[in-house]
Structure 1
Amino acid sequence: MHDVSNRARAARFRRVTGAALAGLALLGTLAGCAGEDLTKANFQRTTVPPDPGSGGSGPVPSGPITDEAVTADRLRTVDPCPLLSDEAVGSLGTPDERKPSGFGRCSTTIRDAGGKTLDVTIEVGQYLLGTADDANGSVEGLPQIEKKQDESTCYVTALTSKDPALGVQIAVDYSGAGEPCRPGRTVLQQVVKDLRDGPAQIPAAQGSLVPVDPCTAVDDEVIAGLVPPEVEQQPTSLRGCQWRSRGTSVAVDFRTGYPPRPGDDGQPVDLGNGISGLSEQLGDSNECKITWLHRTAGEEGEDELVNVSWSNYNGEATADDPCAKVLTAAQAAAGTLPRP
């Protein structure tokens, strides 16, 4: 009888002990889970790169652009080729020679690690077709406009002025090789940094158009005689300006290139002070332009030229005589601009 009772008590003890041990194990597991605060746990972070054409990361900066490093007067004298430095483009591959074209443009070809090529062009003072509202990102505190033209071409621009919409633009052509917007952002970010850190300047030359604001080329009294009242003056680039009202306009543009020759289309005109230009009416339109050599640069295709035009899209050419009107504006500009 005692043996049966003892065996029963032992069986009950084993069942209770097993249940207790299982319960303790469960409590230990729960305690272990409760001991780790998941809200404070560190997890590996992943960064999703912005989609091409999205404008990069960061919100679009609001308010006026007041950065002194990117004012029109500062940017006019910046040499664009040194901005395509090894620091700016080196991470993309091996750059070829930097080639200037115009006052504010420079290009280079880069061979990446896989042997593919990127054509990269910088334009300092690019006039943007659109408005500042097109900005879709930011770069070093400036509004950024990023537009992917096709699978291999992208334009990434740091906005330096909202009205008019002007900026420093990087154009990338990565034909058949890779996504073009990301390298454009990479280059532009370093370019903006360099613009704030004392960029290289175009060498100063006597009488050069490089530092000249084109909106100062023709004074207000002359414009008043050529354009109807309520004239709106607006820069069209760092090298161009337009005065317009009611369909009539006067425009002044500085560029580099080959000087006009007497054999070209147009008629020679005297602009005073020993300066001669070539006047050309554009077809049967009510528009005429005069182009002349301002300064010989010494390098083929890099001479400094001035182009002045007058147009009236609301009038008849026979009534307005556009070439007589543009001659007045061109003579005024030729007398105002610095002499080489």
Structure 2
Amino acid sequence: MKRPVAVLSAILSATLLVAGCAGTDLAKQRFPRTTIPANAENVADPTGTTGTTGTAAPGQPVEPAFAPDRLRLTDPCELLDEDVLKGLGTPGDVSRSGFSRCSNFMTDKAGKDLAVTVDLGQTMTSEIKNADKQLAGLRSAEQTLDNSACFVSVITQDKPGLGITVQIGYKDGDACAPGRTVAESVVAQVRDRKGVITPAKGSLITLDPCALPDAGAVEAAVGAGHRTYPYGLHNCSWVGDGPELTVDFRHTFVPDDREFDEGQTEVDLGGGVKGYQKAGATAFPSCEVKWVQRETGNDEGEVVEVKSAGPEKAQFDRCATAVTFAKVLLAKIPKG
């Protein structure tokens, strides 16, 4: 069953494709990928700097307010302050995407389209290298695209790099100017603990996907000596000499018939939980298993995705690996 596509969803999808060109692969925050960016940070080998403005020791936030555990419990829609948006024009309705992204498709004071999106806890790679500005006391980077979009990113953690990005879609003026205004407001509100939520019992939103599984389960899936790559707040990949494994926690559309993918097959994950398996026969073969961890209403819910992948020359059963790991992971997730 397919979900009707609204105009705002189409705009958001186009906006996210644009954002992928800004040095941060936003698509991966929503869907696990089978290849890891060459400049992604390996948490098993952190290095960094201390003592300069807006930097912190490896693995530590620049301020406690920006710790990943706190960002996970911050509602991004609450950070799009209506008074700030009114200063830019006429706000529209907010459009939530996943746990950590929210948009407002509004108009400027002349009635022209102005799209504002905030992303919390984004992985920062090229942004850290290009962070030659300061915003609200934090290192920041800006990138424009075709005079129609600007990405204003503030760095909240090094090694692995994390940050907050405000994305502006605006074809009729300087898109970075409103981006700075909104970003400064967002940073101030995070510091003031605005938008803090109380998670529902059993919600995935509080969980660190890199820390949840046992080391033995990861090693069984990808081998010893693997590298760990966190991506954003809700995605983690482990890469061995051949096999790769990705876990993604998402808040997304849940079809009534649970037909997430054409050609999927149902698998028993134990405890009465049904999973949905789909193999991908590409140059980098993979197998993905997903299940609905918690329904939230309005055809939406929290979904766990486990993907096992590797090059063709890596001979192993990807679906068996994904199912086995999914069962182990499911047992570690607190029950609702």
Coarse TM-score class (shorter-chain normalised): 0.7 to 0.9
User: Which amino acid in 2 is paired with 1:282?
Assistant: G
Query: Radius of gyration: which is bigger?
Result: 1
2:164 is equivalent to residue 171 of structure 1: no
User: Which amino acid in 1 is paired with 2:318?
Assistant: P
Contact kept in structure 2, 1:290 and 1:308, CA below 8 Å = yes
Contact kept in structure 1, 2:212 and 2:329, CA below 8 Å = yes
Tell me the distance in 1 between the aligned counterparts of 2:317 and 2:280: 12
2:263 is equivalent to residue 265 of structure 1: yes
**Cα deviations by residue, 1:284-315 (Å, 9 ceiling, x for unpaired):** 44311101111000123x31000001112263
Q: Which moved more, 1:250-259 or 1:126-135?
A: 126-135
State the superposition RMSD in angstroms. 2.0
Deviation at 1:263, TM superposition (A): 7.4
Equivalent position of 1:299 in the other structure:
298
Equivalent position of 1:279 in the other structure:
277
Equivalent position of 2:233 in the other structure:
238
2:284 is equivalent to residue 288 of structure 1: no
**Cα deviations by residue, 1:96-144 (Å, 9 ceiling, x for unpaired):** 1222121111111232222222110111122235362221212112111
CA gap of 1:100–1:330, structure 2 versus 1, over 3 A, is same
User: Which amino acid in 2 is paired with 1:236?
Assistant: Y
**Cα deviations by residue, 1:168-209 (Å, 9 ceiling, x for unpaired):** 11110112x111011101100011011000111234211011
Equivalent position of 1:151 in the other structure:
147
2:183 is equivalent to residue 188 of structure 1: yes
| 3-state SS of 2:216 partner | helix
Tell me the distance in 2 between the aligned counterparts of 1:174 and 1:231: 42
Tell me the distance in 1 between the aligned counterparts of 2:261 and 2:239: 32
Tell me the distance in 2 between the aligned counterparts of 1:197 and 1:203: 16
Contact kept in structure 2, 1:273 and 1:335, CA below 8 Å = no
Q: Which moved more, 1:160-169 or 1:321-330?
A: 160-169
2:196 is equivalent to residue 201 of structure 1: yes
Q: Which moved more, 1:215-224 or 1:257-266?
A: 257-266
Deviation at 1:66, TM superposition (A): 2.7
Aligned length: 279
* Aligned pairs (5 A) from 1:127-138: 127-130=123-126, 132-138=128-134
Q: Which moved more, 1:281-290 or 1:188-197?
A: 281-290
CA gap of 1:323–1:86, structure 2 versus 1, over 3 A, is same
User: Which amino acid in 2 is paired with 1:281?
Assistant: A
Contact kept in structure 2, 1:217 and 1:332, CA below 8 Å = no
Tell me the distance in 1 between the aligned counterparts of 2:97 and 2:55: 33
Equivalent position of 1:320 in the other structure:
316
Contact kept in structure 1, 2:261 and 2:278, CA below 8 Å = no
Equivalent position of 1:66 in the other structure:
62
| 3-state SS of 1:179 partner | coil
Deviation at 1:247, TM superposition (A): 3.6
User: Which amino acid in 2 is paired with 1:218?
Assistant: P
Contact kept in structure 1, 2:54 and 2:155, CA below 8 Å = no
Structure 2 stretches of 5 or more lacking a match?
Answer: 1-21, 23-51
Tell me the distance in 2 between the aligned counterparts of 1:142 and 1:275: 44
**Cα deviations by residue, 1:223-252 (Å, 9 ceiling, x for unpaired):** 111212212223111001111122422111
Tell me the distance in 2 between the aligned counterparts of 1:338 and 1:273: 13
Contact kept in structure 2, 1:61 and 1:141, CA below 8 Å = yes
Equivalent position of 1:9 in the other structure:
none
**Cα deviations by residue, 1:72-115 (Å, 9 ceiling, x for unpaired):** 00000100111001243232112112221211111112322222
CA gap of 1:139–1:222, structure 2 versus 1, over 3 A, is same
Equivalent position of 2:107 in the other structure:
111
State, as a whole percentage, how many aligned pairs show the same letter.
33
User: Which amino acid in 2 is paired with 1:160?
Assistant: T
**Cα deviations by residue, 1:144-170 (Å, 9 ceiling, x for unpaired):** 121101201111111122222221111
CA gap of 1:74–1:336, structure 2 versus 1, over 3 A, is same
Contact kept in structure 1, 2:55 and 2:62, CA below 8 Å = no
Deviation at 1:210, TM superposition (A): 1.1
Higher relative contact order (CA 8 A, sep 6+): 2
- Report the TM-score when normalising by structure 2: 0.78
User: Which amino acid in 2 is paired with 1:230?
Assistant: G
| 3-state SS of 1:81 partner | helix
Deviation at 1:283, TM superposition (A): 1.7
Tell me the distance in 2 between the aligned counterparts of 1:151 and 1:131: 19
Tell me the distance in 1 between the aligned counterparts of 2:127 and 2:260: 40
| 3-state SS of 2:185 partner | helix
CA gap of 1:136–1:262, structure 2 versus 1, over 3 A, is closer
**Cα deviations by residue, 1:13-71 (Å, 9 ceiling, x for unpaired):** xxxxxxxxxxxxxxxxxxxxxxxxxxxxxxxxxxxxxxxx9xxxxx9745544300011
CA gap of 1:63–1:82, structure 2 versus 1, over 3 A, is closer
Deviation at 1:216, TM superposition (A): 2.8
Of Structure 1 and Structure 2, the greater helix share is in 1
Tell me the distance in 2 between the aligned counterparts of 1:251 and 1:188: 30
